[in-house]
Structure 1
Amino acid sequence: MLGRAGDAVTAPRRVRRVRWAVGSAAALALLCAGAATVAAARDDGAGHPAHHAAGAPGPPAADSADAGFARDMAVHHQQAVEMSFVVRDRTRDEEVRRLAYDIANTQANQRGMLLGWLDLWELPKTTAGQEPMGWMAGGGHAGHAMNGADGAGSAGSDHRAHDEPLMPGMATRAELARLRAASGRTAEVLYLQLMTDHHKGGVDMARGCARLCAVKAEKRLARGMVAAQQSELDAMADMLKARGAKPRP
């Protein structure tokens, strides 16, 4: 009997240790993947000119699709990470929390890659006077200049005064406030709806980069984003249906 009681006491500890080990391994894998992707960007013609042989292409220009996508998607991803951390604390539903964990980890890692490329290319993470999505030929979003030292800026004062989304799919300040104030099923449904909109905007951006970007590693990342986020869109539609809700029109 004593042996069984001891096993019962130590079992939760073993489970916690296993979960921690799995989480640590996943984080390490993401970091390694990020380092490998940045290295690939350096090797496929996107590094500093000093590292290239004569006649090899230099880094992308500041107004290129490569740089524009890296800047805009870094901002887009930052909000997805923020919303995922919010819902984690607003519900105990394990299915939603697992989805939020996956989105937060994946998009934080990808955001690190994008900002790392901008550093590698010696390009600014923000550009004064350039509207978001302007790099998408014929598909620019009506916005204003972005601010912020780390690429997680917001739109200009006129734009945000009307509480419009900075880029397609992004939540407004009012919507983020609603998510922070919600709990339980209400928070789950709102998060799934907001993240569905967010993914749709992100998929459109990633398809734009897959079509317009020149850096091979960035194009590969964009194509991967399209596939992964489309899969998550399907999963979120099912999760909304299970909660008696559906994506917003």
Structure 2
Amino acid sequence: MTPPQGRRVSRTYLGAGAAVVLAALFAVGATVAAANGGDGDGGSAASRAPSLYSADAGFARDMAVHHQQAVEMSFIVRDRTKDEAVRGLAYDIANTQANQRGMLLGWLDLWGLPKVVADEPPMSWMGSDDGHDMGGHGMGGHDMGGATTKPGALMPGMATKEELERLGSAEGREAEVLYLQLMTDHHKGGVAMAQGCASQCATPAERKLAEGMVAAQRSELTLMADMLAQRGAAPRG
């Protein structure tokens, strides 16, 4: 017997919430591990800090920017709809990704590395061992597991300035659908980036955080597909 739509979405939402909690727990553990040097042997974190163009540093810089836009979109939709399900999801995403962004920037400080590198194109750490042998071209316009960098966007899944303006002027169901579609694209790009760190980053704590991001955002992708279907819409592409 097929369960009522409301129950099915409710269970999915609970699953997504659990994934968010797990990601937050990964975040706390990752911060402590990084502060202790990552391997618990009492050594100095600075002595094993990643290099400037490493996957660890590149992921931290790029994902901090990627997360910031998710937080921005979530705050926008909060004021454009009264739908509690969308507002609750937006709150969870904003809270989780703001906390993770703070961790990533904190690691860069811990490693003595800058948060912005002028000659580093977005995603240049992807697809290479040291994150800096792609001829300065990065991943712009390339396909990453179905997530692409569209014209006018900085990284895979990110919204353009025009899309953000549309979200900021939409109301009610229109705002809900656009937010869910934009965040679905955003999560697909984020999952691809986090998978890249999970396979390339050398810092165990950062890899663990990236794995937690993949689990949480995949769960939220399922939830958002259900929420779009409830509104007679579907993910883009």
1:41 to 31, 34, 37: 34
Q: Note the C-alpha offset of 1:51.
A: 2.5
Partner of 1:118: 108
Seen in structure 2, the aligned counterparts of structure 1 residues 34 and 45 have a Cα distance that, compared at 3 Å, is: closer
Structure-2 separation of matches of 1:76 and 1:137 = 18
Larger Rg: 1
Q: Note the C-alpha offset of 1:41.
A: 1.1
Structure-2 separation of matches of 1:213 and 1:120 = 16
Structure-2 separation of matches of 1:37 and 1:234 = 26
Partner of 2:9: none
Over 6 Å off, 4+ runs: none
Equivalent pairs: percent with the same residue? 67
CA RMSD of aligned residues (A): 2.8
Partner of 1:100: 90
Greater RCO, 1 or 2 (C-alpha within 8 Å, sep 6+)? 2
In structure 2, runs of 5+ residues without a counterpart are 1-23, 129-133, 142-149
Structure-2 separation of matches of 1:206 and 1:240 = 24
Q: Note the C-alpha offset of 1:35.
A: 5.2
Q: Note the C-alpha offset of 1:163.
A: 5.9
Count of residues paired in the alignment: 200
Structure-1 separation of matches of 2:36 and 2:87 = 37
Partner of 1:207: 195
Query: What pairs with 1:231-246 in structure 2 (closer than 5 Å)?
Result: 231-246=219-234
Q: Is the 8 A contact 1:170 1:198 kept in 2?
A: yes
Q: Is the 8 A contact 1:87 1:187 kept in 2?
A: yes
Structure-2 separation of matches of 1:33 and 1:134 = 26
Q: Is the 8 A contact 1:196 1:236 kept in 2?
A: yes
Partner of 1:219: 207
Q: Note the C-alpha offset of 1:33.
A: 6.9
More helix by share: 1
Residue deviations 1:107-144, cap 9 Å, x none? 0000000000000001000000210000001693228x
Give TM-score scaled by structure 2 length: 0.78
Q: Tell me, yes or no, if structure 1 residue 59 matches structure 2 residue 49.
A: yes
Q: Is the 8 A contact 2:55 2:125 kept in 1?
A: yes
Partner of 2:131: none
Seen in structure 2, the aligned counterparts of structure 1 residues 33 and 207 have a Cα distance that, compared at 3 Å, is: closer
Q: Is the 8 A contact 2:26 2:212 kept in 1?
A: no
1:194 to 140, 165, 182: 182
Q: Tell me, yes or no, if structure 1 residue 132 matches structure 2 residue 122.
A: yes
Structure-1 separation of matches of 2:165 and 2:234 = 21
Could you say what secondary structure the match of 1:51 adopts?
Answer: coil
Give TM-score scaled by structure 1 length: 0.74
Structure-2 separation of matches of 1:33 and 1:236 = 23
Seen in structure 2, the aligned counterparts of structure 1 residues 228 and 35 have a Cα distance that, compared at 3 Å, is: closer
Q: Note the C-alpha offset of 1:58.
A: 1.5
Structure-2 separation of matches of 1:46 and 1:142 = 34
Q: Note the C-alpha offset of 1:46.
A: 8.4
Structure-2 separation of matches of 1:215 and 1:182 = 42
Q: Note the C-alpha offset of 1:37.
A: 2.5
Partner of 1:142: 140
Partner of 1:15: none
Q: Tell me, yes or no, if structure 1 residue 185 matches structure 2 residue 185.
A: no
- Paired AA for residue 142 in structure 1: G
Residue deviations 1:29-72, cap 9 Å, x none? x6x9755422211324489xx826xxx95100010000000000
Structure-1 separation of matches of 2:27 and 2:217 = 18
- Paired AA for residue 79 in structure 1: Q
Q: Is the 8 A contact 2:194 2:214 kept in 1?
A: yes
